[in-house]
Amino acid sequence: GAGVSQSPRYKVAKRGQDVALRCDPISGHVSLFWYQQALGQGPEFLTYFQNEAQLDKSGLPSDRFFAERPEGSVSTLKIQRTQQEDSAVYLCASSTRTDHGYTFGSGTRLTVV
Amino acid sequence: EDQVTQSPEALRLQEGESSSLNCSYTVSGLRGLFWYRQDPGKGPEFLFTLYSAGEEKEKERLKATLTKKESFLHITAPKPEDSATYLCAVQALKGGKLIFGQGTELSVKP
């Protein structure tokens, strides 16, 4: 597609549920990033892939968060046993190179109740 | 520690009233400084990348400048459609991640 596609756009989860958020990057983009954005704040880095390799996962807040990109294109961010503090917008971005401007998707708004 | 601070947090302008947004940064070797625009309910939209002190880039009513410690986003004769949150981010020489500031929410009234 023409842009970065994220699904679902909105997700409501009960506390303790597992969720999976999907990102379809722009075709051919090597680099893929996940960010978390709380209301009124700037995006916070979660993790980074180059092709299928996860090169940096230093921003993942706990071992409940897991990301994968098995074939170097689509990526999934999984959150196990969701907590209220996980409520945020999860943004995915892709780029041809890490020093180019990234293209962001519209995000998935996760609300944990 | 690499960090970015933006000011002001919010800015209200009248249409045509020029102003500047500030982005102060500390980074262990700058690879690039990025400006993004974010509209409500959408992801950030790329505006500019600046790589070295003294560099300037322009796009319509926006002009971004860079020094060794800060960047400015100058808005000339803004229009209501320029209303958005403007985000600044830095990328260090080591690693690919962007470190964002908290953003400046710009509101332009007709």
Q: Could you tell me the CA-to-CA distances from A53 to A29, A77, A81 in Å, in that order?
A: 13, 14, 25
- B110: in domain: no
pLDDT in tens, B22-54: 999 999 899 999 999 999 999 999 999 999 999
Q: What is the pLDDT of residue A99?
A: 59
Domain count, chain B: 1
Q: Give residue A80's domain range.
A: 5-112
pLDDT in tens, B78-94: 999 999 999 999 999 88
Chain B CB contacts of A2 under 8 Å are none
Chain A CB contacts of B101 under 8 Å are 42
* C-alpha–C-alpha distance, residues B9 and B2, integer Å: 20
User: From the list A48, A50, A99, which residue is nearest B31 (CB)?
Assistant: A99
- B13: in domain: yes
- B31: in domain: yes
Work out the angle at residue A48's Cα, subtended by the Cα atoms of residues B94 and A29, and round it to the nearest 5 degrees: 100
Q: What is the pLDDT of residue A100?
A: 66
Contact predicate A68/A76, CB 8 Å:
yes
Domain count, chain A: 1
CATH number, domain containing residue B15: 2.60.40.10
- B18: in domain: yes
CATH number, domain containing residue A45: 2.60.40.10
Residue length, chain B?
A: 110
Q: 3-state class of B106 per DSSP?
A: strand
- Give the confidence band of A98 by pLDDT, cuts at 50, 70, 90: low
A45 touching B (Cβ < 8 Å): yes
Q: 3-state class of B81 per DSSP?
A: helix
- B108: in domain: no
Omega into A43 within 30° of 0, i.e. cis? no
pLDDT in tens, A42-78: 999 999 999 999 999 999 999 999 999 999 999 999 9
Q: Give residue B92's domain range.
A: 3-103
Token pair, residue A34, equals 């996940």
